[in-house]
Chains A and B, each alone.
Chain A
């Protein structure tokens, strides 16, 4: 089996329009959470989200191209462009023909679908825009990335709610490791700020009325986010041979299903996915120095995740640093695991562990070192990035400093 290097990264979210801005905000512990601007929220019980503020398709896409691409897929292409540029990919005919694209998205082009349904249900029109289907489909991100770079290899999209990008990156990692492809573009993208879907989240009563305070005793729920992150994966040896910068290695991927409840998390299921990632990486739990937690900020997730970490790491749980960067970039659903994977890579590369922002008060049910409010300088060799989705489908990535 080949070792797999991350040679390129791109990110766009509430914390910035590129990886550099993203890294700076994480380091500063500065949340990108504020009043939602892209949708009228006066009729909602919550008003805050983590949006890409002031986003318009220009200067990223000309008007005619943007007509074809929903906001969520635009984010995917923007992050992919940055990842490809930072990797310094030298496109050859062969690479274009064999490169893989694996993206994650939970809800696809919701704002496009919302507009279409308003036309027929609310305005009483008898037709919707003909691009509603191709803009809404969850694989539009992967498709537009393929067209952007002329990539014709194996390409698909994974949809497993909040774990989507984790499962996508894990698949791409395995494809590169097993020799299916020599280059993969992988990550996730999401843009869930449409009125209909915000109403649906409101009905679930899991969204915080103010901000996201993971692991803090006074946490009151999640805050939705949007954006995308993409990685370029290559075999480590080939990347070294061409002199590429190695941001980090992906060393393991673990999955599990809770088979328990459609929304309530299970410590047992979460623990099994962490163990599976460690087993896939062939490392012991004591090797891990940092975990980028799923850490949604709901009462149920954070205490359950804490119990799962104790179960997997035993005494070592007390020596681990654990943080939830959702406290800053919000819960970007199908993009979450990709943004958090990039955050984990940055932590390993820069020796700065991102904090859990908005933290007020220790909770005995979340008795971990959660790096409250201030980033920490620490050299870590191995890390995990956790994703535990609604539906009980879990994905955990294991990473190693490059």
Chain B
């Protein structure tokens, strides 16, 4: 996982929740940051905009901490890159 990705996720959380960036760490649990279900939905909205991805509901159900969130974003970015590569590999029609 790249530092850049982690920093962007931490920033999205801090901005949405309106808490200082330095209070959010890769090992933070949502509970200790006071993130409830509605806060989490807002953070997902911010991440979708930040990374230009769609985060399916089933991907977020079990995520309870920042690390899980970063890993989920990484996975979706990889899938997006793979899809873009596959589209580029198609011969021009």
* Cα(A264)–Cα(B56), bound, Å: 21
- Contact in complex: A264, B38 (CB < 8 Å): yes
Q: Given that A203-B45, A205-B44 are contacting pairs, would A45 and B38 also be in contact in the complex, using a CB cutoff of 8 Å?
A: no
- List residues 15-61 of chain B with CB under 8 A from any CB of chain A: 36-38, 41, 44-45, 54, 56-57, 60
What is the total number of residues of chain B having a CB less than 8 Å from a CB of chain A? 10
8 contacts between A and B (CB under 8 A): A45-B56, A204-B41, A205-B57, A205-B60, A209-B57, A261-B38, A263-B37, A264-B36
- Contact in complex: B57, A45 (CB < 8 Å): yes
Please tell me the size bucket of the interface on A.
10 to 19
Contacts of A378 in B (CB 8 A): none
The closest CB in chain B to the CB of A207 belongs to B57
Q: Which of B36, B38, B45 has the most CB of A within 10 A?
A: B38
* Cα(A203)–Cα(B56), bound, Å: 11
Quick one: CB contact mask for A185-217 with B, threshold 8 Å, 1 for yes? 000000000000000000111000100000000
Residue in contact with A263 in the complex, picked from B38, B54, B56, CB distance below 8 Å: B38
Residues of A within 8 A of B (CB): 45, 203-205, 209, 220, 261-264, 300
Question: A62 to chain B: closest CB distance in Å?
Answer: 44
- Contact in complex: B36, A261 (CB < 8 Å): yes
Contacts of B44 in A (CB 8 A): 205
Contacts of A45 in B (CB 8 A): 54, 56-57
* Cα(A263)–Cα(B38), bound, Å: 7
* Cα(A45)–Cα(B57), bound, Å: 8
* Cα(A264)–Cα(B35), bound, Å: 13
- Contact in complex: A300, B57 (CB < 8 Å): no
Contacts of A203 in B (CB 8 A): 41, 45
Given contacts A203-B45, A205-B57, A264-B37, 17 further A-B contacts (CB under 8 A): A45-B54, A45-B56, A45-B57, A203-B41, A204-B41, A205-B44, A205-B60, A209-B57, A220-B57, A261-B36, A261-B38, A262-B38, A263-B37, A263-B38, A264-B36, A264-B38, A300-B37
* Cα(A132)–Cα(B92), bound, Å: 47
Contacts of B37 in A (CB 8 A): 263-264, 300
Question: A392 to chain B: closest CB distance in Å?
Answer: 12
In the A-B complex, the 10 residue pairs with the closest CB atoms: A263-B38, A205-B41, A205-B57, A204-B41, A203-B45, A264-B37, A45-B57, A264-B36, A209-B57, A262-B38
